[in-house]
Structure 1
Amino acid sequence: MYIHDDNIKLPDDPETVVWKYLDLSKFVDLLLYKKLFMSRSDKFEDQYEGTFSEPTFEEIRKLSINNPEFLDYYKIHRQQVVISSWHINEYESFAMWQIFTQKSEGLAIQSTLGRLQESLSEEKDYEQHIGEVNYIDYKKEYIPFENAFFPFLFKRKSFQYEREVRIISDMTPYSMKIDNGVKIDIDICKLIEKIYIHPKSENWYKNLVIELVNRLGFNFDIEKSDLESEILI
């Protein structure tokens, strides 16, 4: 279930377009099981994920001098927070295709912020929050820590191209052992507005995706990306 939090930054317009770029196996897994995978926060490639900037860390370190468990909480907490990342952009992103899909066999889910929020109503057991990531200088800028989700809503400025919005869940109350992540129930039809096939893919690949989607009982609008269309002279 999606829980709105006034303290978490998010675009006001529910029609804000969001994207998820993924490979075919992850896409089939999503459709087949109708579950969205959320990765454990400390499993991301960015080692700073869920950590604090230097000014904030200095403050926390001072507070934990007589209370070492205060700092330990934040270290352990990273293992209990799971995240699904989405990209805010009115249009497709060439960079996202390059980074998040392998070779020419990937696809992109186009959705909106409103659809994302509505699709989470399918999950009854775990709470989800949605927030926009802030990009800051970790050597100079401060990350608030009065909200347990704030460390996961800030990243270094070098990741600014991601323009990320995140679905976040804190699994601590559920006493779960999380390996790589968890899967949550999601309304696939509300989630997906359109599917784009990799711009470098061949026609057989597009036909394969269409056939897979149809056999799994869905009827989404599917088209090949036109980022690689022929140049007109």
Structure 2
Amino acid sequence: MYVPNKNIKLPADPNTVIWKYMDLSKFLDLLLSNKMFMSRSDKFEDQYEGTFSEPTFEEIKRISHDNPAFLDQYKQRRKNIVISSWHINEYESFAMWQIFTKNSEGLAIQSTIGRLQKALAVENRADQFIGEVHYIDYKKEYIPFEDDFFPFLFKRKSFQYEKEVRVLTDVSHLDKCVNEGIKINVDINHLIEKIYIHPKSENWYKKLVLELMEKLHFQFDVEKSDLESDILI
């Protein structure tokens, strides 16, 4: 379940709008399983994921000089932290459609911070934390390491277009092999506020999504993205 953490920054307004862009297969997996996938942090494309900025690393090296296990502990954590990424934005993002949907058959889930908090189920074996990502200069700026989740809540400025908020879970105590990631229980009706269909999709695709949700007994508002709407002259 979701657990507040005073060290982790989160937008104060629970109505802050967040998005998750995905293809149809991942959306169906979410609906069929009532589980949200969380990826192992060291499986992300960004090789800096879960690492430290240069000023912080220099301090950690000094600490680790007489205690090598200290640095090894942080290296191992990248395999034990799993993440679900969401995009903070009041409106749709053209860039997110381009990056996270491979063809015109993608879709986007619209939710809010408050809905995401409520959706994380009590029966999950590990607690979930939610935090907003900070974008910094890794050569100059310091990443604090008082909280074990901090390395996973900082990214390089090159990624600031992502405007990311993350669900984080530490699975080290589960005593199980985590390959690509894990699935956690979620309340789908709390999680999803509205669904947007890819702006380049055909009409049949929206109809298909509606039929699939009906068969699975879900009732969400479904709209086609208006990013490709007719130009008014």
Matches within 5 A, 1:61-100: 61-100=61-100
Rounded to whole Å, the distance in 2 between the matches of 1:43 and 1:214 is 34
Alignment-derived partner of residue 149 in structure 1: 149
Q: What is the aligned partner in structure 2 of residue 221 from structure 1?
A: 221
What is the deviation of 1:122?
4.3
1:13 matched to 2:13? yes
Q: Is the 8 A contact 1:82 1:181 kept in 2?
A: yes
1:66: Cα distance to partner?
1.0
Shift of 1:123: 3.8
Mapped partners of 1:123, 1:225: distance in 2? 35
Q: Deviations over 1:143-179 (max 9, x none)?
A: 0001000000000000000000000001112222100
Q: CA offset at residue 121 of structure 1?
A: 3.0
Cα distance in 1, alignment partners of residues 77 and 210 from structure 2: 41
TM-score by length of 2: 0.99
> What CA distance in whole angstroms lies between the structure 2 residues aligned with 1:32 and 1:85?
20
Same amino acid, percent of matched pairs: 71
RMSD: 0.7
- Deviation of 1:189 after TM superposition, in Å, equals 0.2
Structure 1 residue 229, shift from structure 2 partner: 0.1
What CA distance in whole angstroms lies between the structure 1 residues aligned with 2:61 and 2:75? 13
TM-score (norm 1): 0.99
In 2, the alpha carbon distance for the partners of 1:25 and 1:220 equals 18
Name segments (4+ residues, structure 1) moved above 2 Å. Answer: 121-124
Determine the C-alpha separation between the residues in 2 that align with 1:87 and 1:78. 22
Structure 2: stretches of 5+ with no match in the other structure: none
Contact kept, 8 Å, 2:88 with 2:164, in 1: the verdict is yes
Structure 1 residue ranges without an equivalent (≥5): none
Distance 1:166 1:72 in 2: 24
Confirm or deny: 8 A CA contact 2:124 2:184 kept in the other structure. Answer: no
Counterpart Cα distance in 2 of 1:140 and 1:162: 21
Question: Matches of 2:74 and 2:56 in 1, distance apart?
Answer: 12
Q: What is the aligned length?
A: 233
Deviations 1:97-154 (A, max 9, x none): 0000012110000000000000013443210000000000000000000100000000
Q: Deviations over 1:9-40 (max 9, x none)?
A: 00000000000000000000000000000000
